[in-house]
Amino acid sequence: MLEGPVPTWSGSGLKYPEAPHLYRVGGWWYLLIAEGGTERGHAVSVARARSPRGPWEAAPGNPLLSHAGTARPIQNTGHADLVEAPDGSWWMVLLGVRPRGFTPDVHVLGRETFLTPVEWDADGWPVVAPVPERHPAPGGAWHPVPAPPARDDFTGTALAPYWISPFARPESCWSLTDRPGWLVLDATGPTLDSPGYTFVGRRQQHHDCRVTALLDPGTGRGGLCVRLDEAHHYELEAGDGEVRVVARIGPLRQTVARRPVPAGPLSLTVTVRTSDLVPASPHLTDGGTTGPDTLAFWLGDPGAPDARPLAELDGRYLSTEVACGFTGRVIGMYATEGSVAFDWFEYVPSSAV
């Protein structure tokens, strides 16, 4: 640091001006900021000056971008950056969310990255279009990244980068060599309700999806969990000769279903759907629900002719609007007693099921 902080511009008047980005374009310096808080009022505003020290002139059309008060499917738009593509076109990269359900709408995938085109007007100000759900990629800038494989058979020597864990994942709590071809998780805490447990998961990236794992609980206890945090998660757990569905919502923890099972490996599945939702809402005359989705928990193959879920739970309680915070759901494997071995784990978007 060559010198101390220099006051510049405090924004257009919305709350929480933050995340400044400074650019030099032509003879101007542009200061791009986020305003309005990261909820529905989130916005992007801009000012410019001939020198980084000012004086700063606010754009006459601020905020430059905001979906607040609109019915657009992408909301909470903000924390933006300006980029110039190889073909000379300009783009804005930003964060946003995709809420679902009845008012007030909730989102479950967390903040995602979006792209929208930028033009420059005759007075030298950037002009940003509303953020579309889909549009052509910028010319000359398309570098596709392979999607993670749907299924992991745990035959490698290390966990793939898409596997994540809250807080930390000590090397001592998991192994790919104790039982070759299986991921063995060793419990480090007795519950998912407080930090210190063993959990390995993948982000939920699609509104409709299915997750299945083949596991052997042995004498341990563990299974699949859909989580936002320690106080908001649903568990599909095997151990002590049974499979249980457990819901943790705020201060409440309840076992909502259980079924006895024989010893040995078993298949567990969680499906997430945004149609045919339960429970029905008294606020909607058509019998619909106010939630964003329904999570169903299965023992065995959900596609079997006589298959019935152990339980179906409202997904709103695993949303950011209920749990607070900024991150979305993670679906994964855990152990809370002894050792639990997983032969494979599969995450499939419903369009591919």
Given 95, 128, 161, which residue is the final one in a domain?
128
Q: For the whole model, what pTM was predicted? A: 0.91
Counting the structural domains of the chain, the total is 2
Q: Which residue type, as a one-letter code, is found at position 294? A: T
What pLDDT is recorded for position 353? 44
Task: Give a yes or no: residue 12 inside a domain.
Answer: no
Residues 204 and 98 in one domain: no
β-partners of residue 23 are 30
Same domain, 181 and 279: yes
Per residue in 78-108, pLDDT (tens digit) is 999 999 988 899 999 999 999 988 777 899 9
Domain encompassing residue 313: 151-352
pLDDT in tens, 186-234: 999 999 999 999 999 999 999 999 999 999 999 999 999 999 999 999 9
Residues 158 and 306 in one domain: yes
Question: What is the SS3 assignment for 203?
Answer: strand
The verdict on 75 and 157 lying in the same domain is no
pLDDT of residue 217: 98
* 157/154 Cα distance (integer angstroms): 8
324-335 residue pLDDT tens: 988 899 999 999
| Co-location of 242 and 334 in the same domain | yes
Residue at 7 is within a domain: no
Q: Are residues 174 and 296 in the same domain?
A: yes
C-alpha 128/C-alpha 8 separation (Å) is 23
Element (H, E) at 348: strand 339-349
Structural Rg of the chain based on CA atoms: 24
Shared domain for 300 and 166, answered yes or no, is yes
Q: Judge whether 110 lies within some domain.
A: yes
pLDDT 10s digit of each residue in the chain, 353 long?
Answer: 577 888 889 999 999 999 999 999 999 999 999 999 999 999 999 999 999 999 999 999 999 999 999 999 999 999 999 999 888 999 999 999 999 887 778 999 999 999 999 999 999 999 998 999 888 877 776 777 888 999 999 999 999 999 999 998 999 999 999 999 999 999 999 999 999 999 999 999 999 999 999 999 999 999 999 999 999 999 999 999 999 999 999 999 999 999 999 999 999 999 999 988 886 655 555 555 568 999 999 999 998 888 899 999 999 999 999 999 888 999 999 999 999 999 999 999 987 54
Q: How many residues does the chain have?
A: 353
Residue 333 lies in a domain: yes
Burial 94-118, CB ≥16 within 10 A → b, else e: bbbbbbbbeeebbbbbbbeebebbb
Question: Domain of 203: which CATH number?
Answer: 2.60.120.200
Dihedral sign of CA atoms 223, 214, 294, 241 in order: negative
Per-residue pLDDT at 211: 98
Q: Is residue 111 part of a domain?
A: yes
Residues 159 and 121 in one domain: no
In a domain, 141, yes or no: no
We report the CATH number of the domain holding residue 36 as 2.115.10.20
Distance CA 52, CA 82 (A): 17
Does residue 166 share a domain with residue 122? no
Same structural domain for residues 123 and 192? no
**Whether residues 213 and 110 fall in one domain:** no
118 and 210 housed in the same domain = no
Is 168 domain-assigned?
Answer: yes
